[in-house]
Structure 1
Amino acid sequence: MAGTGMTLMRNHLDDYKCDANEAVKFKLVRDEKDLENDDGFNPDMTHQIFGEQESIFGYKDLSVQLYYSAAKLNTYLSIKYTDKVSPEKDNGLQPDNITEALSKEMPPGYYTNLDDFSAVLAKDANFKPYGDLLHSYTINKDGVDRQFEIYKTTIDCPGFREYHERLQTFILFFIDAASFIDADDERWSFYLLFEKYKDNGNPMYAIAGYMTVYKYYAYPCSNRPRISQVLVLPPFQKQGHGAQLLQTFYNSCYGDSDILDITVEDPSENFQRLRDYVDARNCMKLKSFQPEKLYEGFDDDMPHEARLKLKLNRKQSRRIYEILRLKCTSEADKEKFKQYRLDVKRRLNIPFQKNGRDFEKLQKALKPEELSTTLSCMSMEQRHQYLEKAFEEEIEQYKHVIERLNMA
């Protein structure tokens, strides 16, 4: 009987467990009418708030609403449910403290009363973007022209410190393994993406994304900017804004003789693809990356010109070379594709000489003694299998970039 009772208890409690990724919903609010519609977007991940299982326990029909005013990012938090567990009726069980979990990451001053939040929406009309305007452009979405602007600022810009504290909360839900930066370090710079629109004839702004860049020292007397965080918010994704943001940053670097080259901090697969696309598009205009040169193999002219004109480092130059050579190499041309395959595999073989991108992957996955054993114990057949698999994975990534280049 006791076992039956525990089973019934577990079945009963199943209704009080929910997927945090589905329960949490964001909304960028431009006016009071937005409060009444069902628009919004869910997070990509919640493990950095609610744990690895990305679940919330203790509530039935849970809805966690996080509303941000579109310009100033004033924030409203609402937690709704039809029932929750209690120690009195559920053998001492306590529901997860959602407010506490979110409050650890959200700056103080958010609203929990919808009327109070609604009252401050009008203040967005006074909002002006922080920093200096670097670039403006227009995209056509659903037959409507929409205008966007990119600004560069620093933490010292009046009001931006508090604004950044609200803005950075998004990264925990949309960038894996993200952490808040030490914004007090003066070597950080911020690139902000806004949509500019009209409301009753008056210009208004809505945040669409942002990027952070850290300026590292490069011996002997240069600096090396490192892209740290890049986020385009879901309502604005797949519209080309990431490429605009990255290219705008690049443009600000090209004329700076103090910059040696540009690096990226632990890029995600999606960002690497974006970076590859922008870099390949730019390298296609360089003399050393023309098809007749690509067929001859990777030479010193390529990284030299790419660094001189585009601030690309050697590692990324090599990657772009492989992408562009594949772009102009037909798989139907057996000999040319064979030469391409051998060229890429020679580079992929470098891990066995303890160097290169794939060696870095092995380093992360294995302890030093395991790594040494793995490489030394591989038979020739195993090595060939590893190289073939690595080649196919790289080619798959490259083809995504080439497809976008062809569409552009």
Structure 2
Amino acid sequence: MADINADWSADSNDAIHISLVTPSVGGTTSIHTFNPKFTYSIFGDEESIFGYQGLKINLKYNASDMRPGLQITYNKKFKAVGDIEPTDLKAVLEPFLPKTAFEKSSVFESNISAIPADWHPPGELFRTIEIGGETFEIWKGNLSDPFVQQTIKRIQILVPFFIEGGTLLDLDESEDDLGRWTVFFLYQKKQSTATFFEKSSSYIFTGFSTVYRYYMYTPTTPPQSPNGDKIAPEFTLPVDGVSFDTLPCRSRISQFMILPPFQSGGKGSIFYNAIFDYLYDDPYTREITVEDPNEAFDDLRDINDFARLRKDARFQQLKLNSGLKIKPKGPAPTKLFDTKAYEEIRAQMKIAPRQFARVHEMYLLSLIPQSVKQAPLHEDEEETSKKSLPPPNKEDEHIYHLWQLLVKQRLYRHNKDALAQLDRGERIDKLNETLMGVEVDYGRLIETVNERSEKQKAIEIGKGKGILNGEWKEGSCRRRRRGRCLGALEFTDDIKECFKMYSRFCIQMNEGGNEEKGEWMNGNVNRRDERDERG
């Protein structure tokens, strides 16, 4: 049986080829071809397809409207023996693709050739951007729009392909529920001179993101009925005569994807910032959140939120109270900064509490001289020498200790139940270890933002070329990432797993770590999971 599996099994990640194509004389021309990153949610945990030799699954997408066409070829197919049968590829893929994807190749080619030259993406044009001499457009629509919904149906298989744990949207919900979804499409707009290509659309699909609006309850003070009128204790949405679009909401970024061929040049950062700008300007959005982001999206979000906030004059005033004293024994000080101003600015910036706290900590750390902080780790040396730095003064050291206390307090609150199971000495040790990891991770992100800022300044004064607005590539800074377990207690509620993660982090630090190149910016959220980020 093992020999049969070896001879007749194919790696599903390698067997599937995704192509963006345009119509051409005699068929199609491929612009980009790439493989999926994950297929376990479709073909099982082993990501293996049984029953074929020389298997190729070609999923072609018309580069503009993303109409799919599926072609399956193989050299040999396994003949069923009892219960052992080859994988029914059509049956497996049908839940993830529209019926039109299974039509003959000639029908697919004919349909995409018929698309008019003036075709444009669904929804309305939200923003036009120039990136490195290329033009990109962001289009915005609502999932209740049939054309937006059609595009989502066509591309939904890309969610499990490129977002770990990604789930499909439920498109069979009511129109009111679908109306809560805002969809953003990122397109490259080409200026082509080819005679045949002029007859087809000049748009090339680059990525997309979805945002869901949750009703956000805002308690009133004083009570809603000062005249004593009785108020019904319960009501059900939607309320007759009241549109959900006019109610206060928490807007959550759901799926966020940039296709592999376009994951460079800062497109993900620019796309994220455009979505943030839209939600920030929306008068009904009270808070912008992201649910279940992966590690790379965490980085992208942290970097861009930090770059945004540190330029805000109000945010810059949220500094630590240097007048506080830390006693060797007794309760630790709690009012480390102006909490009232802090909360007012957080609400104005519409950033979720935990994310705002992390960016605030990052900003405060960036103000502390390097001579005081722990030495950063670099890929070409174990530790940066402090001999060339000016000696630390007592005031800077005091601010640094206040910063450490601030982070420890947040980490403790976030993991209170898990830490309560440990002895006092163990709690202190684990908090100190996690604090070190958080500081290293913050330092990496701060350095990335600083490098990006310096490059942008060089461009603005004519020392560089191209547009670097929002540019970020994972691994661009010298301080490479050594694993997201850097803040172990912060990222899981299982304290034992935290300690294991931190041990692996230390091993990675000693061995040089492992890093995936490229700008992976895919993140997914299951809308049904309504956990918030109140940390």
Shorter-chain TM band: 0.7 to 0.9
Residue identity opposite 2:130 in structure 1: T
* Distance of aligned partners of 1:389 and 1:53 in 2 relative to their CA distance in 1, 3 Å threshold: farther
Q: Tell me the CA shift for residue 392 of structure 1.
A: 3.5
The superposition leaves residues 186-233 of structure 1 with CA deviations (integer Å, 9 ceiling, x where unpaired) of 111111111111233856111111111111111236211111111111
Deviation of the 1:38 alpha carbon: 9.1
Q: Report the CA distance shift for 1:394/1:71 in structure 2 as closer, same or farther (over 3 A).
A: same
Aligned-pair distance for 1:77? 1.2
SS in 2 for 1:395: helix
Q: C-alpha separation between the residues in 2 aligned to 1:399 and 1:294? A: 18
Selected match of 1:10 from 2, 7, 16 = 2
Instruction: Indicate which of 115, 127, 142 corresponds to 1:135.
Output: 127
Aligned residue in 2 for 1:162: 150
Measure the CA separation in 1 of the matches of 2:440 and 2:3: 44
What do residues 66-115 of structure 1 show as CA deviations (whole Å, max 9, x unaligned)? Answer: 11001111212122222232125xx6521111221111211111145333
Aligned to 2:435: 391
1:32 to 1:295, Cα distance in 2 relative to 1, 3 A: farther
1:29 paired to 2:21: yes
> 1:139 corresponds to which letter in structure 2?
I
Aligned residue in 1 for 2:352: 313
> Hey, what's the Cα distance between the residues in 1 that align with 2:162 and 2:254?
14
SS of the residue corresponding to residue 211 of structure 1 reads strand
2:446 pairs with 1:402: yes
Cα pair 1:303 1:317 within 8 Å, conserved? no
What's 1:344 paired with? 407
Question: In 2 relative to 1, CA 130–92 (structure 1 residues): closer, same or farther, beyond 3 Å?
Answer: closer
Q: In structure 2, what residue type is equivalent to 1:18?
A: A
- Find the aligned partners of 1:169 and 1:194 in 2 and give their Cα distance: 19
Aligned length in residues:
374
Q: 1:102 to 1:397 in 2, by over 3 A?
A: farther
- Give a deviation string over 1:300-325, Cα, whole Å, max 9, x none: 223321321x2112222111011222
The question of whether the paired residues in 2 share the 8 Å contact of 1:76 and 1:117 is answered with yes
SS in 2 for 1:272: helix
Alignment check: 8 A CA contact 2:213 2:252 kept? yes
- Decide which moves more: 31-40 or 222-231: 31-40
1:104 aligns with 2:95: yes
Q: For residues 257 and 121 of structure 1, do their structure 2 counterparts lie closer, same or farther at Cα, with a shift above 3 Å needed?
A: closer
Structure 2, unpaired ranges of 5+: 219-246, 323-335, 374-396, 453-535
| 2:160 aligned counterpart, secondary structure | helix
Give the counterpart of 1:200 among 177, 193, 208: 193
Aligned pairs for 1:5-404 (under 5 A) are 9-32=1-24, 35=28, 39-88=32-81, 93-124=84-115, 125-140=117-132, 145-183=133-171, 184=175, 185=177, 186-200=179-193, 202=198, 204-220=202-218, 222-290=248-316, 293=319, 297-300=336-339, 301-308=341-348, 310-334=349-373, 335=397, 336-351=399-414, 353-354=416-417, 375-404=419-448
Aligned AA (2:283): S
Quickly say closer, same or farther: Cα 1:109–1:130, change in 2 above 3 A.
Answer: same
- Root mean square deviation, CA, Å: 2.6
Quickly say closer, same or farther: Cα 1:63–1:252, change in 2 above 3 A.
Answer: same
Task: Select the structure with the greater relative contact order (CA < 8 A; seq sep ≥ 6).
Answer: 2
**C-alpha separation in 2, matches of 1:116 and 1:212:** 31
Cross-structure match for 1:358 = none
Per-residue Cα deviation, 1:138-178 (whole angstroms, up to 9, x for no partner): 111xxxx2100111111243522222210222111111222
CA contact (8 A) 2:65 2:151 kept: yes
Contact 1:298 1:321 in 2 (8 A): no
> Which of the two has greater strand per residue?
1
1:369 aligned partner: none
Give the Å deviation of 1:326: 2.4
CA distance in 1 between counterparts of 2:109 and 2:274 reads 35
Assess, with a 3 A threshold, how the Cα gap between structure 1 residues 161 and 258 changes in structure 2: closer, same or farther: closer
Instruction: Give the TM-score taking structure 1 as reference length.
Output: 0.83
| 3-state DSSP of counterpart to 2:96 | coil
Structure 2: distance between partners of 1:216 and 1:72:
29
> Structure 2: how far apart are the matches of 1:206 and 1:36?
13
Q: Kindly tell me: are residues 104 and 256 of structure 1, through their superposed partners in 2, closer, same or farther at Cα, counting changes over 3 Å? A: closer
Bigger mean CA deviation after superposition, 173-182 or 185-194? 173-182
Q: What are the superposed Cα offsets for residues 328-355 of structure 1, whole Å, 9 maximum, x if unpaired?
A: 334422525444333212221224545x
* More displaced 10-residue stretch of structure 1: 194-203 or 63-72: 194-203
Distance 1:241 1:337, change over 3 A: same
Contact 1:30 1:206 in 2 (8 A): no
Task: Give the secondary-structure state (helix, strand or coil) at the position aligned to 2:80.
Answer: coil
Classify the secondary structure of the residue corresponding to 2:120. Answer: coil
Q: For residue 110 of structure 1, what is the amino acid of its counterpart?
A: A
Q: Is the 8 A contact 1:29 1:70 kept in 2?
A: yes
Structure 1: distance between partners of 2:251 and 2:42: 30
Alpha-carbon distance between aligned partners in 1 of 2:126 and 2:94, rounded to the nearest angstrom: 34
Find the counterpart in structure 2 of residue 362 from structure 1.
none
Q: Give the match's secondary structure for 1:178.
A: coil
Distance 1:147 1:295, change over 3 A: farther
Equivalent-residue separation in structure 2 for 1:32 and 1:345 (angstroms): 61
Which shifted more, 298-307 or 20-29? Answer: 298-307
1:404 deviates by: 2.7
User: Counterpart of 1:5?
Assistant: none
CA distance in 2, matches of 1:392, 1:84: 55
Q: In 1, are the aligned partners of 2:9 and 2:50 still within 8 Å (CA)?
A: yes
Cα separation, 1, equivalents of 2:62 and 2:13:
21
Shift of 1:35: 4.8
What secondary structure, in the 3-state scheme, does the structure 2 residue paired with 1:189 have? strand
Q: 1:298 touches 1:318 (CA, 8 Å); kept in 2?
A: no
Q: CA deviation at 1:37?
A: 5.8
CA contact (8 A) 2:318 2:337 kept: no
Tell me, yes or no, if the aligned pair for 1:291 and 1:328 is still in contact at 8 Å: no
Structure 1 residues 285 and 231, CA gap change in structure 2 (3 angstroms): same
Q: In the TM superposition, what is the alpha-carbon distance from 1:252 to its structure 2 partner? A: 1.9
**Structure 1 runs not aligned, ≥5 long:** 1-8, 355-373
* Letter paired with 2:151: Y
> C-alpha distance in 2, partners of 1:14/1:240?
42
Give the residue type in structure 2 aligned to 1:246.
Y
Partner of 1:365: none
